[in-house]
Structure 1
Amino acid sequence: MSQPTASPWWDKDRHADRRPFLLARNRITAAVRGWFGARDFVEVETPALQVSPGNEAHLHAFATEAVGIAGERAPLYLRTSPEFAAKKLLAAGEARTFEIARVWRNRERGPLHHPEFTLLEWYRAREPYEAVMADCAALLALAAETAQAKAFGFRGRAVDPFAAPERVTLAEAFARWAGIDLLATVAADGDTDREALAGAARATRVRVAADDTWADVFSRVLVEKVEPRLGDGRATVLCEYPVSEAALARPKAADPRVAERFELYACGVELANCFGELTDPAEQRRRFEAEMAEKARVYAERYPVDEDFLAALEHMPQASGGALGLDRLVMLATGASHIEQVLWAPVAEP
């Protein structure tokens, strides 16, 4: 006997249930635009079609192709982020930009994931990444004020969006919640010791497979031991990722084993991924090649490198930037339990 299917998103009753979330989304989006505009940020619009969708091993893109007048064909991808184009604008001379960007990621669907979603991405030229941390805290409060929410909630957890976020380094988090000395497994040049981390993970009862890399073990400890503790009561800024886990971030001057990367969590939900931006094109190329080698090993595919982006890095000033999931922010501010409640027209499932 076949199971009944849920009504489509455009069913009048279902839409009526979703409509308060959607109207709140519009108000929050407008407030975000106003917030950035009041701080001399320029709103930009960059292309959704790119020669490279990004070069991170575990990001999956939607592929298409351009067909010329004479029938010539060239591969293109829907962007997974507006990052490459936004940084080219920094190289062109823009100092502060933001974009409310539609992006696409394949192999992603669930309560917090959708194949097409919206990233709020912004950049500050010649400013430290601590300024982006402050932006994140302000955006949480802005969303709460706009939605008239005194607290954010998700799956039984609550956060005060007006409280200053807790700042925790990856080394502190691994020591506190997994009993692992993370940086003891990272050399001064950024090389990682797989066996040392695997042994420490096993000691804390985290499963390690024979073919796991250092990055695989790191991710499993992060997911199982650390992430469940983040963003409870107040938001968490999880910072100073090992350089091998921060392909687009610059190394921290005081400790080259870690990078100027942080993620923002609230109610256990990852909301933002932010960097002090890497501007060394040779190092960026090396990191992209390493990421694509891992992608080829795991998924038997790789994406091209955007040579225009690497050329632009030669002229890009020091900068910091952030990418925040706007749909997730709306979810937390409105109390929605599923991302499709805050999307005006969800993508149909295959």
Structure 2
Amino acid sequence: MQSPVSSSWWRADLHAERRGFLLARNAIKRAFRDWFEAQGFLEVECAALQVSPGNETHLHAFATEAVGMGGERTPLYLHTSPEFAAKKLLAAGETQIFDFARVWRNRERGPLHHPEFTLLEWYRAGAPYETLMADCANLMALAAESAGARLLTFRGHDADPFLEPDRVTLAQAFDQFAGIDLWASVSAEGSTDREGLAAAAKSAGVRVSDDDNWADIYSKVLVERIEPKLGMGRPTILCEYPISEAALARPKAADPRVAERFELYACGVELANAFGELTEPVEQRRRFEAEMDEKDRVYGERYPIDEDFLAALPHMPDACGSALGFDRLVMLATGAERIEQVLWTPLAPTPGL
């Protein structure tokens, strides 16, 4: 099949080659809706235009503006996730919600990345975040079943979605795949030791630049040594992230170094990111400001903080939430090689993306 990145997807022959993937996408979406509704969830539609697109250092948004009747202009952004709006709905009294949200992220294009894509996000009030692990396992199996697949596959790798996922902590993964003691560079209060992690990473053969901070080195080890090994044969749940790597998650009660965060992997592909949600506005503001300071340092830009979101947090119940890359899961369930194969109308090639 010709790559839809270099060819016009609307040509009848190219569309015919993609159509089986697209019909499977629809079948998976129908099955997911039925599953959520059977679980007592309410489908919602979070607005894409927001005053803040999210406040994570390495997420890049599409900016726009609202023009008033008198010509006044207000900056707005297309959201990178429906998270802020969804949590406001929890504060308003909803308890179990899901959204097949169209989201936008700039500076992203590749086999697994598209500037506009679908995040399936769902939230459970009053439930421990481990509940989401079971949700993810159920949805993977349902996706494969709906697509008529026995295995999830990508680039010659496979994972059995009908097996219970392996559960691996970040500390175990760093030790197993890179020979690094992760917690040796994290204090009991959660602060990090850049030089300690840099030395360990260099010893493991990971290239470290002079201007890399602790988070940069951590990410290099994760991307180069750990992620490609996850979800082989069976899915993997990677959990117990350092608190510094989970800006919207609450700490685990038993260990303030550890966040209630996990990510789901299959065939070396990240599929979902889940949290026990932080609801403390002062701490959330501090984290957002730190993320934006780092964004300013690295990229020379920062996004506004959604003050309405911070105002809603104290009214939000204890909850957990997950964001699943729906297009990626469809890819793995259908055997697609590029994300454009499972998108009905992919964006034409754009210089710089």
Question: When the two structures are superposed, what TM-score results if normalisation uses the length of structure 2?
Answer: 0.97
SS in 2 for 1:141: helix
Q: Which amino acid aligns with 2:296?
A: A
Partner residue in 1 for 2:290: 290
Aligned to 2:230: 230
- Partner of 1:260: helix, strand, or coil? strand
2:232–2:267 contact (8 Å) kept in structure 1: yes
Cα displacement string for residues 5-44 of structure 1 (whole angstroms, at most 9, x for unaligned residues): 9430000000000000000000001111110000000000
Deviation at 1:228, TM superposition (A): 1.4
Amino acid at match of 1:220: K
Structure 1, unaligned runs of 5 or more:
none
TM-superposition CA deviations, 1:64-120 (whole Å, max 9, x none): 000111111110000000000000000011000000000000000000000000000
> Could you tell me which amino acid in structure 1 is paired with residue 280 of structure 2?
D
Distance 1:128 1:186 in 2: 25
Please state how far the C-alpha of 1:63 moved relative to its aligned partner. Answer: 0.1
Aligned length: 346
Q: Any residues of structure 2 matched to 1:213-224 within 5 Å, and which?
A: 213-224=213-224
Kindly indicate whether residue 127 of structure 2 is the aligned counterpart of residue 139 of structure 1. no
Aligned to 1:96: 96
**1: CA distance between counterparts of 2:113 and 2:229?**
20
Match of 2:215, SS state, is helix
Matched, 1:16 2:20: no
Give the corresponding residue for 1:183: 183
8 Å contact from structure 2 (residues 152, 158) kept in 1: yes
Q: Secondary structure at the match of 2:144?
A: helix
Partner of 1:274: 274
Task: Tell me which stretches of 4 or more aligned residues in structure 1 moved more than 2 Å.
Answer: none
> Structure 1 vs Structure 2: percent identity of aligned residues?
73
In the aligned structure 1, how far is the partner of 2:325 from the partner of 2:228?
A: 19
Contact 2:250 2:277 in 1 (8 A): yes
Q: Is the 8 A contact 2:124 2:321 kept in 1?
A: yes
> Who is 1:126 aligned against?
126
Is this contact kept in 1: 2:251–2:260, CA < 8 A?
A: yes
Q: What SS is found at the alignment partner of 2:124?
A: strand
2:19 aligned with 1:33:
no
Residue 315 in structure 1 maps to residue 315 in structure 2? yes
SS at match of 1:241: strand
The alpha carbon displacement at 1:127 in A equals 0.3
| Alignment deviations for residues 269-300 of structure 1 (CA, whole Å, 9 cap, x no partner) | 00000000001100000000000000000000
Whole-angstrom CA distance in 2 between matches of 1:7 and 1:156: 24
Equivalent position amino acid for 1:270 in 2: E
Q: Which amino acid aligns with 1:167?
A: R
Deviation at 1:309, TM superposition (A): 0.2
Alignment match, 1:166: 166
The answer to whether residue 81 in structure 2 is matched with residue 81 in structure 1 is yes
- Equivalent residue for 2:198? 198
Gapped regions of structure 2 (runs ≥ 5): none
The 1-side partners of 2:91 and 2:109 are apart by: 35
Following TM superposition, by how much is the alpha carbon of 1:177 offset from its aligned partner in structure 2, in angstroms?
1.0
Residue 348 of structure 1 is matched in structure 2 by: 348
Give the secondary structure class of the aligned counterpart of 1:57. coil
Q: Tell me which amino acid in the other structure corresponds to 2:58.
A: H
The equivalent of 1:254 in structure 2 is: 254
**Aligned-residue offset at 1:152:** 0.9
Q: Please give the secondary structure, in 2, of the residue aligned with 1:225.
A: helix
